[in-house]
């Protein structure tokens, strides 16, 4: 009878989730089994357990059901995106880099931890509010990536007034969100070298950092400071991105270099860090970004720089993992 009851119970579990069931047995009318929820988000895990329970509960020979849910830890690579000062396009680069990485087939998430200007919801054209299950926030989906932003949790002015402890607590909520099978988590940091940066490095150990700078000397001096901090904390610099490098005339497309050219690449060389590439200053990038249409999400000319930078970043990640 027990064998027959067990066979009937397994038959009643939907076929697409049967692979996740292990060690089923019936003893004293209690059906027990192990359910493998590896890679699933909390809400999908709850759905899976309920599907199995609904399938087997009340069948002849089964008085009670005990399900042990297990999950292997998904290996996740955290990439911090920092800059020495504000306004250099760190958020623009983070968003487009995350999208470009996702377009290579990886599962990518973006954490907007910039308490001074959480702009990712606007850049990704998403005004969806994330929900929470069992106090864990579930990222929203936008432009092929998953997103959690401080800007989704509180209004802009509230975040601006935060000091140390509050900002790091918020960072924790974002990073410990329900990222499911996300493989790469890009973290858009506030500019400079403050509590959020320190907390990220101490508590989440990013695999590496990408530094964004403009070609101006001043920005590069600031960038060096950010690089120093990552170095001191033992976080490898994956590379430097030069943003707003050269101005593309919106009429004729001709490039000019109001701030000189090659400065960031030379600086990267002198600091012995990889140069990941440059993104030109163009009206099209600004307009698309402001309209919530990140250039990297389309195949147009403007996205090309970001795709090339993502490809170089992947090479670097592979090298530093080897």
Ligand X SMILES: Nc1ncnc2c1ncn2[C@@H]1O[C@H](COP(=O)(O)OP(=O)(O)OP(=O)(O)O)[C@@H](O)[C@H]1O
- Please tell me the distance from the alpha carbon of residue 30 to that of residue 34, in angstroms, as a whole number: 13
85 is in an annotated binding site: yes
**Residue partners of 274: CB distance under 8 A and separation at least 6:** 237, 238, 239, 240, 268, 312, 316
Among 55, 117, 139, 151, binds ligand X (CB under 6 A): 117
Helix-helix angle 263-270:217-232, to 10 degrees? 30
CB of 83 to ligand X, least distance (A): 5
Binding mask 182-201 for ligand X (x = CB under 6 A): ---------x----------
Binding mask 244-283 for ligand X (x = CB under 6 A): x----------------------------------x-xx-
Q: Does 219 bind ligand X (CB under 6 A)?
A: no
Stretch that binds ligand X, among 37-45, 81-89, 173-181, 228-236 (CB under 6 A): 81-89
Output 47 or 286, the one with its CB closest to ligand X.
Answer: 286
CB of 88 to ligand X, least distance (A): 4
Q: Does 97 bind ligand X (CB under 6 A)?
A: no
Closest CA to 139 of 104, 101, 186: 186
91 is in an annotated binding site: yes
Q: Are strands 64-70 and 275-281 parallel, antiparallel or unpaired?
A: unpaired
Sign of CA dihedral 172, 174, 177, 182: negative
Helix ranges (DSSP H) in the chain: 2-12, 15-18, 42-56, 90-102, 120-123, 150-153, 156-160, 164-175, 195-204, 217-232, 263-270, 283-290, 301-321
Binding mask 18-37 for ligand X (x = CB under 6 A): --------------------
The count of residues interacting with ligand X (CB under 6 A) is: 21
- In the complex, which residues of this chain contact ligand X (CB under 6 A)? 83, 86-92, 114, 117, 119, 191, 243-244, 279, 281-282, 285-286, 289-290
Binding site residues for ATP, as ranges? 84-91
């Amino acid at each position: 009878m027990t064998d027959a009851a067990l066979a009937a119970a397994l038959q009643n579990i939907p076929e697409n989730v049967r692979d996740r069931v292990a060690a089923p047995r019936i003893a004293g009318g209690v059906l027990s089994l192990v359910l493998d929820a590896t890679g699933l988000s909390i809400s999908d895990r709850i759905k899976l357990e309920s599907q199995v329970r609904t399938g087997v509960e009340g069948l002849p020979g089964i008085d009670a059901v005990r399900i042990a849910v297990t999950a292997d830890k998904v290996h996740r690579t955290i990439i911090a995106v920092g800059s020495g000062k504000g306004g250099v396009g760190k958020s623009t680069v983070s968003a487009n880099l995350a999208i470009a990485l996702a377009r290579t087939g990886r599962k990518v998430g973006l954490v907007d931890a910039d308490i001074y200007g959480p702009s990712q919801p606007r850049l990704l054209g998403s005004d969806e509010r994330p929900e929470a299950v069992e106090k864990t926030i579930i990222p929203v989906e936008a432009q092929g990536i998953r997103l959690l932003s401080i800007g989704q949790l509180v209004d802009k002015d509230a975040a601006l007034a935060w000091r140390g402890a509050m900002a790091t607590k918020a960072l924790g909520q974002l990073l410990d969100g329900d990222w499911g099978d996300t493989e790469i988590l890009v973290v858009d940091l506030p500019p400079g070298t403050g509590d959020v940066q320190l907390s990220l490095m101490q508590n989440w150990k990013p695999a590496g950092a990408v530094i964004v700078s403009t070609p101006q000397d001043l920005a590069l001096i600031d960038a060096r400071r950010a690089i120093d901090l990552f170095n001191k904390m033992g976080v490898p610099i994956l590379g430097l991105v030069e943003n707003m490098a050269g101005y593309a005339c919106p009429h004729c497309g001709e490039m000019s270099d109001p701030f000189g050219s090659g400065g960031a690449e030379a600086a990267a060389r002198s600091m012995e860090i990889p140069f990941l590439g440059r993104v030109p200053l163009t009206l099209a990038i600004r307009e698309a970004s402001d309209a919530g249409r990140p250039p990297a999400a389309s195949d147009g000319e403007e996205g090309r720089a970001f795709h090339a930078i993502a490809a170089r970043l992947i090479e670097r990640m592979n090298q530093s993992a080897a």
